[in-house]
Amino acid sequence: MSLALVHGRARAGVHAPEVRIEVYLAGGLPRMNIVGLPEAAVRESRDRVRAAIRCAQFEFPQRAITINLAPADLPKDGGRFDLPIALGILAASGQVPVQALAQWEFLGELALTGELRAVDGVLPAALAAARAGRRLVVPVANGSEAALANGLDVRTARTLLEVCAMLGGSRELPAAVAPPVAISPGPDMRDVRGQLRARRALEIAAAGGHHLLLVGPPGCGKTLLASRLPGLLPEADEAQALETAAITSISGRGLDPARWRERPYRAPHHTASAVALVGGGGEPRPGEISLAHNGVLFLDELPEWDRRALEVLREPLESGVVTISRAARQSEFPARFQLVAAMNPCPCGWAGDVSGRCRCSPDVINRYRGRISGPLLDRIDLHVDVPRLPPAQLRPDAPEGECSADIRARVEAAHASQLRRAGQPNARLGQAATMAACRLSDADQQLLERAIDALQLSARAMHRILRVARTIADLAGSEAIATAHLTEALGYRGMDARQSVRAA
């Protein structure tokens, strides 16, 4: 038979659309032509496939070979199509049974020797193959990653010859096995001395999924606090963990299959560009905000970031997704991250410190803080001052703080009550859901309105205050928001208060 069909998967953002590799052998001078919008790496597969087939002791057909990668309007890139193209040529020339290909999908780059090399983006392809009801063959190096997809029969191969032997019925390929899940304990809150207010804000942020801004002098523990947040978050469910792992898989940074259940923690340097944050490139790749999906994104030295880089965070903070548009394609990546930002109160870092060492003028301080736009601050729920600790609290024999495990137990209880009430954390509540879940008494409503007028806050900030108050009530096990819960939530809008004072 001179026509063969092989199933593969392309890469389009976090999705893996099906690609049908159609191989047709015709008469005429020997040549190989690949159509269907192949990029350079796919076009170069002609030489890799030819050498791999010959090294595997098969005959390369001396005929006109046409390879169509359908659908034709979907860009194809990378070496992932090497294995299905080689199998299609062998099947079309009668060296591999065509009917054996129907139930399988294939991914893998071929070395000139016929060995299979790993490719990226295997997990999204495995999840898509499971939904399609087919079986999957991948290189050995990708086996543990592909095995994370439930309900999928994944087989691994080292060479093209092993795959052909399996299709011919002379041997079985070994099944891929996912490694045991290993979740490292991570940094513990026990290491944080003092800072009771910041510790409390971190617990509230973890319980409700709220964004957090830490303001304090150098060396006061802002980075230390931020690094402890992932250890307080509730365990991600399987769907969340798989979605996060799929993003890591397509990023090219390598996925550790043993740690796929861990929530990510990303801390890019403040010199990172806007493209590094949100993603992009000629072939769109996820940025830091997508790599932090379902986890924590820590931005230190917030005023030192490029203003344009910070402003691109505004839409993802609200929507939880980022869309990257290019002339040839458009990709959408999830970006439901929890932002923790840190900054100094002034350029020298010591404004407001009891030592009185700051010599920055009010105008200099205002310009420094003005590097962060009001709309961005508006989207951060908790603003917390982190003061310098007295030396006595840093002594080796000073009492340790509460451990992460005890705090996490309270966080999980509050998180469970939010899921029962609204099916999502408080920070993600829409306007209607916020009004329904965050009802106040008449006296507390008047208190909130007076605070909104005094601080000149927006409607968005008001809704965020209500959600924070709802989280504080959940931590206290209260069905209703009490006055103490509301006043505590209002106390976490310190930067808004400073801005209103400067405006006055």
At 392 the pLDDT is: 79
3-167 and 189-410 share one fold: no
> The domain 3-167 is classified under which CATH number: 3.40.190.10, 3.30.565.10, 3.30.230.10, 3.30.70.1140?
3.30.230.10
Largest CA distance in the chain: 88
At 280 the pLDDT is: 83
At 8 the pLDDT is: 97
Residue pair 318/378 in contact by the 8 Å Cβ criterion: no
At 335 the pLDDT is: 94
Q: Are strands 104-106 and 135-139 parallel, antiparallel or unpaired?
A: parallel
Q: What is the pTM of this model?
A: 0.91
Beta-carbon neighbour count of residue 174 at 10 Å? 13
Residue pair 250/145 in contact by the 8 Å Cβ criterion: no
Question: Is 279 exposed, middle or buried, given 0-12, 13-18 or 19+ CB atoms closer than 10 A?
Answer: buried
Distance from C-alpha of 15 to C-alpha of 246, rounded to nearest angstrom = 9
Distance from C-alpha of 270 to C-alpha of 263, rounded to nearest angstrom = 22
At 298 the pLDDT is: 97
Distance from C-alpha of 420 to C-alpha of 249, rounded to nearest angstrom = 32
Distance from C-alpha of 195 to C-alpha of 222, rounded to nearest angstrom = 10
Helical segments of 62-183, H only: 82-92, 122-132, 143-146, 160-167
Residue pair 500/455 in contact by the 8 Å Cβ criterion: yes
At 327 the pLDDT is: 67
At 503 the pLDDT is: 46
In the numeric block, the tokens 């405006």 are attached to 503
Report residue 240 as tokens.
């969340």
Contacts with 441 (C-beta within 8 Å, 6 or more apart), sequence order: 483
The DSSP 8-state label assigned to residue 460 in this structure reads H
Q: Give me the sign of the Cα torsion angle 330, 331, 337, 341.
A: negative
β strands within 151-242, DSSP E:
154-157, 212-215
For the chain, what are the domain ranges? 3-167, 189-410
Question: Is 494 exposed, middle or buried, given 0-12, 13-18 or 19+ CB atoms closer than 10 A?
Answer: middle
At 394 the pLDDT is: 78
Distance from C-alpha of 349 to C-alpha of 360, rounded to nearest angstrom = 9
Report residue 347 as tokens.
């350029």
Helix (H, G, I), strand (E, B) or coil at 98: helix
Q: Residue 54's closest CA among 110, 112, 101, 2?
A: 112
In the numeric block, the tokens 């709802």 are attached to 470
Distance from C-alpha of 453 to C-alpha of 433, rounded to nearest angstrom = 24
**Cis ω for the linkage preceding 71 (within 30 of 0):** yes
At 424 the pLDDT is: 94
Would you identify the CATH topology of the domain 189-410? Rossmann fold (3.40.50)
| DSSP state letters, 393-457 | GGSTTSPP---HHHHHHHHHHHHHHHHHHHSS-GGG--HHHHHHH----HHHHHHHHHHHHHHT-
| DSSP state letters, 279-306 | EETTTTEE-HHHHTTTSEEEE-SGGGS-
Distance from C-alpha of 350 to C-alpha of 368, rounded to nearest angstrom = 13
Counting as low any pLDDT under 70, the low residues of the chain are 1, 327-328, 494, 496-504
At 104 the pLDDT is: 97
Q: How would you label 181-190 residue by residue, b for 16+ Cβ within 10 Å and e otherwise?
A: eeeeeebbbe
Length of the chain: 504
Q: Are strands 31-35 and 64-70 parallel, antiparallel or unpaired?
A: parallel
Q: Residue 39's closest CA among 71, 74, 90, 89?
A: 74
Report residue 500 as tokens.
């209103």
At 219 the pLDDT is: 87
At 390 the pLDDT is: 84
At 393 the pLDDT is: 79
Beta-carbon neighbour count of residue 9 at 10 Å? 27
